Amino acid sequence: MTKQQASKKRQSVKHQFAFLIVSIVLGFLFSYAYNTAKTKDNTMIEINSSDFERKEQLRENLIVQQERNKELEEEKLQLQQKIKDYEQDFSGSKEGSRNLVKQADNLRLMLGKIPGQGSGVTVTLQDAEYNPKSVNPNDYIVHESHVFKVLNELKISGAQAIAINGHRLEANSYIKCNGPVITIDDDQFPAPFIIEAVGDPKVLSAGLTLAGGVYDQLIDDNIVVVIDSSKELIMPAVQGNS
Amino acid sequence: MWLPLLGLLFGISLGLLTDIEIPIVYESYLSIAVLAALDTIFGGIRAQLQQVYDDHVFVTGFFFNIALAAGLAFLGVHLGVDLYLAAVFAFGVRLFQNIAIIRRILLSKWNDKKAKKSEETVQ
User: Between helices A144-156 and A201-208, what is the axis angle to 10°?
Assistant: 130
Report the gap between the CA of A2 and the closest CA in chain B (Å).
23
Taking 90 as the threshold, does the pLDDT of residue A92 lie above it? Answer: no
Residue B107 to chain A, least CA–CA distance (Å):
27
Is pLDDT larger for residue B26 or for residue A73?
A: A73
pLDDT at residue number A78: 93
Instruction: Using the predicted structure, report yes or no on whether residue B88 has a pLDDT greater than 60.
Output: yes
What φ, ψ does residue A170 adopt, rounded to 5°?
-115, -175
Q: Between A and B, how many CB-CB pairs are < 8 A?
A: 91
Out of A103-117, A172-186, A210-224, pick the least confident: A103-117
Q: Percent of chain A scored above 90 by pLDDT?
A: 10
Kindly give, in sequence order, each residue whose CB lies less than 8 Å from that of residue A187, ignoring residues fewer than 6 positions away: A167
Share of chain A above pLDDT 70, in %: 87
Residue A241 has pLDDT above 60, yes or no: no
Confidence band of A6 (pLDDT split at 50, 70, 90): low
Q: Please list, in sequence order, all residues whose beta carbon lies within 8 angstroms of the beta carbon of residue A20, skipping any fewer than 6 positions away.
A: B3, B4, B6, B7
Predicted pLDDT of residue B1: 65
Higher pLDDT, B108 or A234: B108
Question: For residue A242, is pLDDT > 50?
Answer: no
Can you give the C-alpha Rg of chain B in angstroms? 19
Q: Which residue in the set A15, A28, A33 is minimally distant from B14, CB to CB? A: A28
- pLDDT, one tens digit per residue, over B6-42 is 888 888 888 888 777 777 777 778 888 888 888 888 8
Q: How confident is the model at residue A10 (pLDDT cuts 50, 70, 90)?
A: low
For B42-69, give the DSSP string: HHHHHHHHTT---HHHHHHHHHHHHHHH
Q: Please report the pLDDT score of residue B97 as a whole number.
A: 92
Helix (H) or strand (E) holding A191: none
Give the per-residue pLDDT at A8.
Answer: 65
What's the pTM?
0.44
Average pLDDT over residues A148-169: 85
Q: For residue B67, give how far its alpha carbon lies from the nearest alpha carbon of chain A (Å).
A: 13
Q: What is the mean pLDDT of the segment spanning A89-99?
A: 71
Domain spans of chain B, in order of start: 23-118
> Shortest CB distance from A33 goes to which of B34, B41, B63?
B34
Sort out which chain A residues have CB atoms less than 8 A from B13's CB and list them. 27, 31
Which residues of chain A does B67 touch, with a Cβ-Cβ cutoff of 8 Å? Answer: none
Q: Which residues contact B111 (CB under 8 A, 6 or more apart)?
A: none
Report the CATH superfamily, name and number, of domain A115-235.
Answer: Protein of unknown function DUF881 (3.30.70.1880)
**Contact residues, chain A, for B55 at CB < 8 Å:** 15, 18
Q: List pLDDT tens digits, range B44-84.
A: 888 888 888 888 888 888 888 888 888 888 888 788 887 77
Residue A141 DSSP one-character state: S
Residue type, A122: T
Question: How much is the ipTM here?
Answer: 0.74
Which of the two residues, A42 and B14, has the higher pLDDT score?
A: B14
In chain A, where the domains are located: 1-114, 115-235
Q: Rounded to an integer, what distance in angstroms lies between the CA atom of residue A208 and that of residue A68?
A: 41
Is it the case that residue A174 has pLDDT exceeding 80? yes
Contacts of A175 (CB under 8 A, 6+ apart): A144, A147, A148, A151, A164, A182, A183, A184
Confidence of residue A115 (pLDDT cuts 50, 70, 90): confident
In the predicted structure, residue A79 carries a pLDDT above the cut 90 = yes
pLDDT of A114 strictly over 90? no
pLDDT attached to residue B116? 87
